[in-house]
Amino acid sequence: MFRYFPTNYVWNLSVNLAIEMGARMGEIETICAPLQDAAKQPDAEGTHAFRQAWVAMADRLQALAAEDEARGRQFSAGQKYKRASAYMITCERMLAHDSPGRVELYQRALKSFATGIALTGENCERVEIPYGEEHLSALLVRAPGVARAPVLVQVNGLDSMKEMKYLVGLPGWLAERGVSSLIVDQPGTGEALRLHGMHARFDAEHWASRVVDWLETREDIDAQRIGMEGVSLGGYYCPRAVAFEPRFACGVAWGANHDWRDVQKQRLKREGDFPVPHYWNHVCWVWGAKDIDDFMRIAEDVHLDGVLDRIRVPFLVTHGERDSQIPLSWAYRTYEQLVNSPKRELKIFTDREGGVQHASFDNSINAGHYIADWVAETLGGRTRR
């Protein structure tokens, strides 16, 4: 794990996530060098300084991108807009949900990302999936040259969003292996939470089934080869959804979040690292709880005991050996309870291959390639040219 700030895990997590999204080290140094003292301040003061520094770099990149556009240099401009989006995402996820200007900052990040994708011409399309009277927003990345491709639905954790997952790289690694991707902002995350007020729910199959319904209408998707992957808290959502939605052909947990209710109990005791500042404020917002007591009642349902024996398709469980947020023991528990999976696998990422921290945020590429290969082998893609 890259520790720019010696005493602040949450800030280091954010810097590592930015690197995984394509941040440049010179820009990180410019952003972070003045923040050493702020990193030691309480959440409110520290995150204000953090936001100012990261937005300033995003503003600089957008101005440079506009200059590129004026000269017809669209590829260069597009890369700068994408990186500016990543920097805005980095600081937006650190803010308290009621911070002034948070929604506007998030919308700026979405616009910068979309502009970057349009200018570079990347294989990424924003789509909307019907969900009751609303919709779920998603990014579709197609496997080139495959008429009816298998697809991996990818869902967020507690504080990630679809643009972050796209920029980290799994959809691109899958596309070259002949597998399409659908990266979804499910309830409690991304656009669903920030723009539509959809809170998280423990019964992930409720929204996951609507996603499968939508995929079954598409001629470019093989409806018999739909898999699901979830990162971090998605390591709970994904197994739950695959257990109760039999149309999924496989599942992957990128970080085994077997018993999130227990994680909350330990965090009340100040055990384990928090992923974001203002943590209790954040989880109450995500789950629509009125206070911590209400949230803890909701969290009682967020576990996989008594669920996993319903899974009768291949399933990959991965975990970082030195995950300081979610105990490694939960990865073994998830694997052990997959008693009816015809192809279950547990992969613990060690120092040898990297990705030992939570959901491999410290070095995702080897872990991501391992997942992409497993999915390609399971859903009928390819692992070589």
Inter-residue contact 254 to 234 (CB < 8 Å): yes
Whole-structure pTM value: 0.97
| Intervals of CATH 1.20.1440.110 along the chain | 9-119
Label residues 320-351 b or e (16+ Cβ within 10 Å = b): beebebbbeebbbbbbebbeebeebebbbbee
The confidence score (pLDDT) of residue 81 equals: 98
pLDDT above 90 for 272: no
Residue 198 has pLDDT above 80, yes or no: yes
**What Cα–Cα distance (Å) separates residue 6 from each residue in 10, 60, 256, 270, 330?**
11, 27, 27, 19, 28
Secondary-structure class of domain 9-119 per CATH: mainly alpha
| pLDDT digit string, tens, across residues 351-363 | 999 999 999 999 9
Selected residue with higher pLDDT from 302 and 273? 302
Q: What's the pLDDT at 44? A: 80
Sheet holding 180-184, edge to edge: 125-131, 134-141, 180-184, 149-155, 221-231, 250-254, 315-320, 344-349
Q: Helix (H, G, I), strand (E, B), or coil: what is residue 136?
A: strand
123-379 maps to CATH 3.40.50.11900? no
Q: Say if residue 221's pLDDT is above 80.
A: yes
At 97 the three-state DSSP class reads coil
What value does the mean pLDDT of the chain take?
Answer: 97
Is the pLDDT reported for residue 271 higher than 80? no
How far is the C-alpha of 185 from the C-alpha of 83, rounded, in Å?
20
User: What is residue 43's predicted lDDT score, i.e. its pLDDT?
Assistant: 82
Average the pLDDT over 192-221 and give the result.
98
Rounded mean pLDDT, 293-303 = 98
For residue 23, the model assigns a pLDDT of 98
Token output for 91: 């600081």
Mean pLDDT of 163-185: 98
